[in-house]
Structure 1
Amino acid sequence: MKITGYKHELLDKYMSEITSRVAAESGIPSDRYHFGKLVLQSLKDDPDFLMQTDGGTGESETNGSVLKRSIRCVACFKKLGLKIGDVIILMGANNLDQAIPFYAALFEGIIIAAIDKTLGVSELNDVFSANKPKLIFCQGDKVQDAKKALELAGGDGRVISYDRSPDTISFSDMMEIYGEDIDVKDYKAADFDPEETIALVVATSGSTGLPKAAILTHKNITVSSTYFGSFGKKFPRITKCSLIVSPLQWLSALIHYLVGPIFQYSRLQTSAELTTEHIFDMINKYRPTLLISSPPTMITLLKEAETKECDFSCFEIVFLAGSAVSDHLKATLQSRAPNTQVVNGYGMSEIGGIVFFPYDVPLSSCGKPFAHMQYKLMNVETGEEVKEPHKIGELWVKAPGGVRGYYNYPLETAEAITKDGWYKSGDLHYRDEDGNYYFVERLKLLLKYRNHQISPVELEEVIQKLPGVLHVAVSGVPDPDCGELPIAFVVPRPEADITEKDVKNIVKENLTDTKLLRGGVVMLKELPLLPSTKLDRTKLKQWAAAFAKKN
């Protein structure tokens, strides 16, 4: 089945203009893929534009200020001995300082690894052992943990605190001691090969296993990440302001740090604790126009909005991403914000952006193919390509610049990428006659009851329709005779009075006998979530096994 990939002519024209201008100025043709130089040029183009606001403190900063501080940070990096290919760790709150080493690293070919700021010593040791960071930027309360982990990892890096700490130098002191006032007009970003030079190592979710860090080169970002702007109708300013509700290590936040300067929209973030009340305050006060949210977060926001004031109508577009998106959730959000475009934002850390064009497609679809990527569905049992519509297969993709795999994880990289460059996503999809793709399930999450494969997502969508259900997650109870028995973990709404029988009955009324909840139903106050707000499927499996032993 031949499907023509989507091509956004206005986006391509704008990116061609800015990349050509950068390459012409430097005289280096490959600089059209040097993402640091693209950001540098974008910040120069409009120095008075408001780039970032901290909703926790009310402070804000312009492009010009960010650029000047980032160039000063470059001088710090050089005096501290950092060079192309070295790694810095960012593990702070979303304060205004976090962007400064971020952009300085992009300018100089230094690898950025943003990680979870709540990690303990043992987990930090694992990260530092793999990444060998030269500088670690964190909050004061994590300095001791970072130092201990660095010592365990045998590293020679330095720890810098965003705020004041008696145990190390602060970020402001670093900038004062090692920085230099360099005229913006005189600064030139480092020259390197953008196709081979790593820009970021991006945390994978770890929702089905141990987290890894996906490699993204400057060329990967320039091509794939900028297609996030494919919803734009006018360029360069595709929207007014994005609201960030996830930490920097997740693509849903990283994408705004990357393409915000390119597409000239402001970034609203917060260094404060990200409570529902705080999110509502920021929405009502600043009126952001763009949001990327996980489905669990959006479900919680909509539920709280039933009793607390929040006007979602400011959003022009909301991406629901990170896990399966139900039609019910999209419809509920649409009812609260009728003029907002609500889309499935199917993305991958390994690609560095969204994988499909998600606009003007059927409700359940995650989008159409992009023209700059290659796609195919593979039968997981036969290894043959699935070419017929409505037949399920594992999604394989190829992206410009290649998918590079996982940083210092060669075995996992070899398992995920074929010799001819196809990345095996681990996600099951099908496509319709018009080339629209539909997410089915994570391959690793499929349950096997006797000889039948069961999708937890399918069960979850049915149970979610039961009045009184706030959140639901389905896993499998190990069984020596049958393989796995489906078990539902349900979080009822506070006022609801639903029973195990109610949950089992709605499944029985809507699905076949093989999909019945033979593993049982467990009522919870909350589901286990990862820092990305994705469902922690690994912990669910542990709970399911523990439940089986008790019963």
Structure 2
Amino acid sequence: MGFKQENYYNSEERIWYGKPERTYFSKDQSIGEIIFREMKRHPKLIAQISDTENTILTRQELLLNSMRVASFMRKMGMVQTDIVGIIARNTTHMFAVAYGCFFNGIAFHSLNINYDESTIKKLYDITKPRVIFCDGDDYEKVKAATAHQNVIIVTMRNHHKDSISIDEVLATTVEDDFKPARLEQGINQTLAILCSSGTTGTPKAVTINNSHKIFSYCPLTIDDVQYTPSSLDWVTGLLTTVTSGVYSTLRVITDNLFDPARMLRMIEKYKITWLLQPPPHLAMIANCKEFDEAKLQSIRCYMYGGSRTSIEAQNSIRSRLQTDCMTMVYGMTEVGIMAAINQNFDKKPNSAGRVVDGMKIKILNEENETLGPNEVGEICVNNGQHWSGYYGNPEESMKIKDSEGWFHSGDLGYMDDDGYLYIIERKKDMLKYHNIMYYPTEIEQIISQMPDVAEVCVFGIWNQFNGDEAAAAVVKKPGSQIQAQDVVDFVQSHTDVIYKQLNGGAIIMDELVHSANGKTNRVGTKAYFLDIKDRN
């Protein structure tokens, strides 16, 4: 599956442009209207298979369920300014809830199931949902977090005695002339509210609008079989939900924690063609014992992004694919879709790729001056569309998006002479040892060369005399006998500068701490490291 990329660089403006975007749908159509029409066009196609719940839904069945959910909300008297809450796994009827919201022009605010009661309360105090769809396992937590609000709670499974079950919702009568609602604010109206990564504190409520950009970069067909482990609280989960509806694909879902062995079995069983996952999952697949015997011939698009992964893991998976279809992507939740795609791994293996259609990228220094090729600064992205900001937080919205429409990513990087983007590090991850600046990834790249290392996370430990002393948490490969001191010694032998030594030490972990979307959480891993050190 190819993305044709044609970029150009304006040397006077020092801005890199993707080619003008194209759309095959009327621009005034909402995503809900498009999906409604496409579902009616292909009623007999299988829309969804749950590998964990052993359920199958045709597009006709999924459409009817979605209309029932939409009708339930209409009978509640909900209007387009209302919000629906979602905090649930990828279970059988979850996507009828999403499509029901799309049909009504009502945005949902989706949170991750791992959020604690305090975080749920803070976020839902902002958006104040009228109804929340959650798993029965999380009912008590959600109920406690929203006890001060007048919220109806619907459970998706393992139903609580005090909740409404999704089965009751799906018994709602649908009017014969049911139609999706026209958007009162057009395509600038909010489609969904997701969460920022939360690695720097309480997540922010990120609005995503009805722009067709969210699906225009995914050339899918009815022959495709899609899978992503992401749930609806991440933009990758939203992207897959939208594209499977728009392009009439078959979507495979699971509601369990990510299991690389299970995913490999699913690829073979369902002939999955389209994958989207975070890099840590990619590393887990490449290092699991079932990988050598896995049959991956069906895959024609393997996308991953959101954080770094080793060249070794990427090459391991590429060597097993029938076609050169691994694609690294770069984007921001706030932008609503990827901003760069790398389709030239062999020549640019460490690059996040070139600018996608309809996007612009520039690099800024500390004085907010634009930089040219090969100059490192903050990556800024312009998608040329309206953004409603962080819901209920105009101050933070103005910090990330300036008056000229540029999103300030907080990522440091540069564009090379061929217009390929390279990510160096998050600005906030920059460390100083004796006032010498360095980045954790520089040391992670050294440690990743060790044959026994599966994953690594490096961070700074504050020392009142030295500043940030580098420390590492390492996950070893199965069967390895590697010790923490081996990691420290390896780094010492592979760099001759003191500030890049593991002056803060190292530990071996069974698993790194990850954010809810699968990204390595540097803050959380560091907290675990400090806790272990304190106890020892």
Q: TM-score, normalised by structure 2?
A: 0.91
Structure 2 counterpart of 1:23: none
Match 1:187 to one of 164, 179, 187? 179
1:360/1:150 Cα in 2 relative to 1: closer, same or farther (>3 Å)?
same
Match 1:43 to one of 32, 39, 51? 39
Deviation at 1:438, TM superposition (A): 1.0
Match 1:334 to one of 315, 318, 321? 318
Report the AA paired with residue 475 of structure 1: F
Residue 352 of structure 2 is aligned to residue 363 of structure 1? no
Which structure: greater helix fraction? 1
Structure 1 counterpart of 2:140: 144
Q: Please, what is the CA RMSD of the aligned residues?
A: 2.3
Is contact 1:242-1:267 (8 Å) kept? yes
Percent identity over paired residues: 25
Structure 2 counterpart of 1:26: none
Superposed CA offset, 1:42-98 (max 9, x none):
222222222111111221112222222212222111111211021111222212211
1:4/1:142 Cα in 2 relative to 1: closer, same or farther (>3 Å)?
closer
Structure 2 CA distance, aligned partners of 1:523 and 1:92?
Answer: 32
Is contact 1:85-1:198 (8 Å) kept? no
Structure 1 CA distance, aligned partners of 2:193 and 2:291?
Answer: 40
Residue 210 of structure 2 is aligned to residue 226 of structure 1? no
Deviation at 1:309, TM superposition (A): 4.4
1:246/1:188 Cα in 2 relative to 1: closer, same or farther (>3 Å)?
closer
Structure 1 counterpart of 2:508: 523
Secondary structure at the residue paired with 2:465?
A: coil
Structure 2 counterpart of 1:90: 86
Is contact 1:477-1:544 (8 Å) kept? no
Structure 2 counterpart of 1:27: none
Superposed CA offset, 1:96-116 (max 9, x none):
211112111112221111211
Is contact 1:6-1:357 (8 Å) kept? no
Superposed CA offset, 1:195-248 (max 9, x none):
4321111112213433222111112xx12x12431xx3xxx6176111121222
How is 1:459-478 mapped onto 2 (pairs within 5 angstroms)?
A: 459-478=443-462
Residue 461 of structure 2 is aligned to residue 480 of structure 1? no
Q: TM-score, normalised by structure 1?
A: 0.89
Structure 1 counterpart of 2:202: 210
Deviation at 1:267, TM superposition (A): 0.9
Secondary structure at the residue paired with 1:336?
A: coil
How is 1:394-433 mapped onto 2 (pairs within 5 angstroms)?
A: 394-433=378-417
Structure 2 CA distance, aligned partners of 1:273 and 1:324?
Answer: 21
1:188/1:133 Cα in 2 relative to 1: closer, same or farther (>3 Å)?
closer
Secondary structure at the residue paired with 1:31?
A: coil
Secondary structure at the residue paired with 1:200?
A: strand
Report the AA paired with residue 451 of structure 1: N
Match 1:376 to one of 335, 346, 362? 362
1:227/1:512 Cα in 2 relative to 1: closer, same or farther (>3 Å)?
farther
Structure 1 counterpart of 2:244: 260
Is contact 1:128-1:155 (8 Å) kept? no
Is contact 2:285-2:291 (8 Å) kept? no
1:68/1:108 Cα in 2 relative to 1: closer, same or farther (>3 Å)?
same
Structure 2 CA distance, aligned partners of 1:141 and 1:546?
Answer: 29
Superposed CA offset, 1:512-537 (max 9, x none):
50312111121222211122111121
Is contact 1:447-1:476 (8 Å) kept? yes
Answer with 466-475 or 317-326: which moved more.
Answer: 317-326
Secondary structure at the residue paired with 2:69?
A: helix
Aligned length: 520
Deviation at 1:303, TM superposition (A): 1.4
Structure 1 counterpart of 2:479: 495
Secondary structure at the residue paired with 2:17?
A: coil
Secondary structure at the residue paired with 1:40?
A: helix
User: Which consecutive unaligned segments of at least 5 residues does structure 2 have?
Assistant: 1-8
How is 1:266-281 mapped onto 2 (pairs within 5 angstroms)?
A: 266-281=250-265
Residue 221 of structure 2 is aligned to residue 201 of structure 1? no
Structure 1 CA distance, aligned partners of 2:142 and 2:340?
Answer: 38
Structure 1 CA distance, aligned partners of 2:192 and 2:286?
Answer: 33
Report the AA paired with residue 442 of structure 1: R
How is 1:44-59 mapped onto 2 (pairs within 5 angstroms)?
A: 44-59=40-55
Secondary structure at the residue paired with 2:217?
A: helix
Structure 1 CA distance, aligned partners of 2:447 and 2:514?
Answer: 19
Secondary structure at the residue paired with 1:386?
A: coil
Is contact 1:47-1:62 (8 Å) kept? yes
Match 2:153 to one of 159, 175, 182? 159
Report the AA paired with residue 526 of structure 1: E
Residue 275 of structure 2 is aligned to residue 286 of structure 1? no
Match 1:458 to one of 442, 453, 473? 442
